[in-house]
Amino acid sequence: MKLDLRPMLRGEIARMDIDFRLSAVELDGVGISDEVSVKGEIVDTAGYMRMMLNVELGYAGECARCLSSIEGRFETEFVRTVVDEGTLTDEQLEDNVDEYVVISDGFLDIDEELREAIIFDFPSKLLCSEDCQGLCPKCGKPKKDGECGCVMSEPDQRWAVLKGFFSEEK
């Protein structure tokens, strides 16, 4: 979405509310709801413009440990200083890419920056709960469903010969 900041640049307004829907973002192995909610504001304080946005989206995926289906909401903040084109050099913009967004001809297009922020801030692994223990390595049953009865500590057969060597009778 292109935001028209010309009234703010002319000094007619000092604050602009932002509320729009961003088209879907694609993440590997995660289903994202069609709408990504973007709400916030741009505030102009004597020529210093600061943008503060809250980005929220719904997601569906599977737990990285037990593979159960999970759904949830993800939120992240997007805070940047808004500068007019030509104010900063290309080198300054590259060195501070996470600090600035640039107005071009009075308009600000932040869709791509928002998508990148979502991708970078989204958890790399989804979990159904922080204490998820995953799956049994033998039978594959989710450990959160209870004990499966598998014997987990099998002795190494290479050491079986020494088992009786240190008996208590000697």
Q: Which residues of the chain have pLDDT under 70?
A: 34, 93, 96-97, 166-170
Query: Rounded to two decimals, what is the model's pTM?
Result: 0.75
CB 77 within 8 A of CB 54: yes
Which residue in 146, 139, 108 sits closest to 9, CA to CA? 108
Q: For position 52, what pLDDT does the model report?
A: 96
The span from the CA of 7 to the CA of 29, in Å, is: 42
pLDDT at 167: 64
User: Please, are residues 60 and 70 in contact by the beta-carbon 8 Å criterion?
Assistant: yes
Residue 35 CA to residue 59 CA, distance in Å, equals: 10
Phi and psi at 89, nearest 5°, equal -75, 165
Torsion over CA: 32, 38, 39, 41 (sign):
positive
User: Rounded CA gap, 146 and 143, in Å?
Assistant: 6
Q: What is the model's pLDDT at position 40? A: 96
pLDDT, residue 144, reads 86
Beta strands at 69-84 and 100-103: parallel, antiparallel or unpaired: parallel
pLDDT of residue 57: 92
d(CA 162, CA 5): 80
Q: What is the largest CA-CA distance in the chain?
A: 97
- pLDDT tens for 81-116 read 888 887 777 777 677 667 888 888 889 999 888 989
